[in-house]
Structure 1
């Protein structure tokens, strides 16, 4: 079977064979949620990361925020946030640069942060046994998997629910061609669902915003499928 056709849990088992002892191996030792899990029983972790750019090969993680979602509840007591100590990125660059105008994190702030290894280890512990929930999730999965490869030599397979993909599905057909610029962004999607406005580009706030959006999207999906038990398979990216 081609690697690209493997399920997330099959990729997890494959990665486990090569993972050294440590946080990543501990994460990989626990099965991912099965596609058949009903949404009412699904355990997710809403994740947001702030970075210096969009390329995991040259840019670096600046902060990580996450909050669990158990079934239909956001578990604020399980939320976490880490600012990652400044240092050279994947290609040797240092400093926040122009990205500070987006997320507000400065080099001085990052100097007081924690090592990337500790921040990713905490995230892995929180993500264990859960599906990763994010808006435009390829950013989170790309950077986190690249970080795991650099730190432990193995990537980070995960089951993914992407609220951007769910929103795109929900509004399909509303526009004759492609969606207007910005129409599928997190804050535009929240506005469509009547959710409150938060300050953008702070990792924990954005993770919470994504979790709330998912619950609104789930309610919309369930309202459109009365009498049907929706599962992870119906929402998995």
Structure 2
């Protein structure tokens, strides 16, 4: 996408992408208006999402698992929690097995990328995505939609790492990059420890961190646009 296009409002960009998308789940997703970015952030519906991937390059690596859970009215709706394993096009390296605790046998019974996107996109429609270090989720979802549908994916995103970094920078705080990790920020907010590198537990952990990071905003109206990660 050109730098000029990135200056356009998100919902205008959605409408342009909708016109170009082929019939199917991605076109249906893009047919749903995005959340009004001028409304108070508490009025929007969210879905916290985490992807576990075989690496960080969306062009050469692939998605191993997807975890997501919805939020509404500042509540995490645990009944909406989903964990999806995906079939992989290549044998996992030992480092992947050690980090994600997923094996080739486990993923062999997983969904195809097409099946996973058909299930995921309706869950995302009309909501705001929450992710930690969101550029990973954004790049892999964009690449996946290009691969499966031949068209571009887009939605409003809140990055909890970006929120925390801005908060610390406003205070002129001195911190190490490691302080912006999901586990470190949860510890700073006195949130419980969860197992790392599991897509669903990381999605829930990110949802709770979002609530903790925004808790101080509860006494004032904050437009959703002020929380969004720039895309």
- Alpha-carbon distance in structure 1 between the residues aligned to 2:31 and 2:164: 32
The Cα of 1:171 is off from its aligned counterpart by 1.7
Aligned residues: 224
The Cα of 1:96 is off from its aligned counterpart by 1.8
Secondary structure at the aligned position of 2:193 is classed as coil
Which of 24, 27, 32 in structure 1 is aligned with 2:26? 24
Q: Can you list the C-alpha shifts for 1:63-121, whole angstroms capped at 9, x where unaligned?
A: 0000001121111111111000121xxxxxx1221222211111111101011111122
Counterparts in 2 of 1:9-48, with a 5 A limit? Answer: 9-48=11-50
- TM superposition score normalised by structure 2: 0.93
Q: Which residue of 2 aligns with 1:86?
A: 88
- Alpha-carbon distance in structure 1 between the residues aligned to 2:173 and 2:217: 17
- Structure 2 unaligned residues grouped into runs of 5+: none
Moved over 6 A (4+): none
Contact 2:62–2:88 (CA<8 Å) still a contact in 1?
no
- TM superposition score normalised by structure 1: 0.91
Q: Which residue of 2 aligns with 1:160?
A: 157
- Structure 1 unaligned residues grouped into runs of 5+: 88-93
For the aligned residues, what is the CA RMSD? 1.2
Contact 1:49–1:64 (CA<8 Å) still a contact in 2?
yes
Q: Which residue of 1 aligns with 2:8?
A: 6
Q: Which residue of 2 aligns with 1:90?
A: none
Asked if 1:188 corresponds to 2:184, the answer is: yes
- Alpha-carbon distance in structure 2 between the residues aligned to 1:197 and 1:139: 22
